[in-house]
Structure 1
Amino acid sequence: MASTPRQRRAARHHQEVSDPSAAPKRGRRAKPITVDAIIEAALDLVAREGYPALTMRRVATALETGSASLYAHVVNKNDLDELLIGRLYTEIDLPDPDPAVWREQITSICTQMRDQYLRYPGISRAALAAAPSNNDTLRLSERMLAILLAGGIAPQTAAWGIDALTLYVNAYTLELSLLGQTDGDWVPSPDEMRRRLANLPDAFPQTRRYAAELTSGTDHERFDFTIELILDGLLRR
């Protein structure tokens, strides 16, 4: 009896779905269509053109096949998104929880997530749109939870803390990817932004006074600041 897409997605996790009808035919394709091949083609497309360019049709074209061939291995675009995020997470080093350095461990994981997302512009949008449900994505949240618990964070606070941290990383990298797609003449430089704020009318006294503070720091300095701020808040609770 044929399984539903939901059952196929839940059962597969990391296992290959074999389909004789999708096997390569002699003289048409040198490599078979596999889940790994689909993931690699999709990531290559995102790295070159950004996440908005990712469609099942574009991936199929890259693999020199039709979209229907992909559905023997990937349920739909949402399934592909989750596979892509899971693949990026497998490349993140997850240390064994150590109460003495738990803050450094969580910060390292968040930084690695950030750097993975920045390699593939806009891909964090896929993470924002999906709840973690496969083993690769759950592996990361499991380790983050274990590290926060080892640091003395209460279970409920740790659970919501993971949500806050991952949402920030996703939003931070998505913002940078969107800025990268914007016309450079439209987005002012920090110096230009500082000048604009300093020359605002009297209705904005604090913004004028603290224009330098509002525009200071690199993107990654602000990233580190916010991660530390979240961790400080977890401790206070």
Structure 2
Amino acid sequence: MTPRERRAARRQMPGPEVEAGAMRRRRKTTITPAQIIDTSLNVIATEGYEALSMRRLANALDTGPASLYAHVVNKADLDELLIGRLCAGLSLPEPDPKVWRDQLRSVCTQMRDQYLRYPGISRAAYAMAPTDREIVRVSEGMLALLLAGGVAPQAAAWAIDALLLYVAAYCLEICIMEQRKVHDEADWVVDTDELRSRLSALPAESFPHTVRYATELTAGQGHDRFDFTLDLMIDGLANR
């Protein structure tokens, strides 16, 4: 079996014969896809997503890069496996037309929390054409929620992409900010009081609204802005 054939096989629903064959193969090999994913996530959790490469992963597994290609095609394939693992941890509710917006918020919030456990991993979700069953499971679940809320199919399809893209971007920005604080000793850049002071000090004749609403522009704690934007997007869909 070539790596590409193995990748295709992962997308198929396993039958008894496939499962038995996989078990026999696992007994003969020292590295499994699950080990690759677990080790990759451990590297990301401790060093960040940017530290993960096929060579870094091979070193962590105490093997050569060539051994990895028996299970994954390339880094993009590994990225899909990682996002698939995170998606496997998401709980998808049974669609309820009465509370579909709350249900959709819950799925997005779960995805946010999964991304934030592994600094920078949301970068792996960009420009991905997923075929992993767990990723498609989440997409299917979100589509069911949107359709239950009366959102038109085309709008629902694009909304899934927009919502997940926002969640990924939000988490990536947090990761970048945290990195700057640590590596550049630039706490002041993201300090709310410092930013508010700088905006308030601008010449009012040139920036009247910025100066007047400096407090509003810098307001929000924790995930306040995330919740606001998510509500804005979902409520907008409900009003279409």
User: TM-score by structure 2 length?
Assistant: 0.89
Q: Is the Cα contact below 8 Å between 2:177 and 2:190 reproduced in 1?
A: no
Q: Which has the higher helix share?
A: 2
Indicate the residue corresponding to 2:202 in structure 1: 200
Mean Cα deviation higher: 167-176 or 123-132: 123-132
Which consecutive residues of structure 2, in runs of 5 or more, have no partner in the other structure? none
**C-alpha displacement of 1:23:** 4.3
Deviations 1:8-65 (A, max 9, x none): 3222237787897x945xxxxxxx2000000000000000010000011111111111
Indicate the residue corresponding to 1:223 in structure 2: 226
Residue of 132, 136, 146 corresponding to 2:144: 146
Q: Is the Cα contact below 8 Å between 2:11 and 2:131 reproduced in 1?
A: no
* Alpha-carbon separation, structure 2, partners of 1:93 and 1:210: 40
Q: Identity rate of aligned residues, in percent?
A: 61
Deviations 1:51-93 (A, max 9, x none): 0000111111111111111111111111100000000010111
SS of residue paired to 1:100: coil
User: Residues 197, 58 of structure 1: CA spacing in aligned structure 2 closer, same or farther, 3 A cutoff?
Assistant: same
* Alpha-carbon separation, structure 1, partners of 2:193 and 2:133: 45
**C-alpha displacement of 1:158:** 0.7
* Alpha-carbon separation, structure 2, partners of 1:166 and 1:46: 20
**C-alpha displacement of 1:235:** 1.5
**C-alpha displacement of 1:208:** 0.6
* Alpha-carbon separation, structure 1, partners of 2:23 and 2:100: 42
2:216 aligned with 1:213: yes
| 1:81-100 equivalence runs, <5 A | 81-100=79-98
Amino acid at match of 1:221: D
Structure 1 runs (4+) greater than 4 angstroms displaced: 14-20
| 1:33-72 equivalence runs, <5 A | 33-72=31-70
Q: Is the Cα contact below 8 Å between 2:48 and 2:118 reproduced in 1?
A: yes
CA RMSD of aligned residues (A): 2.1
Amino acid at match of 2:200: A
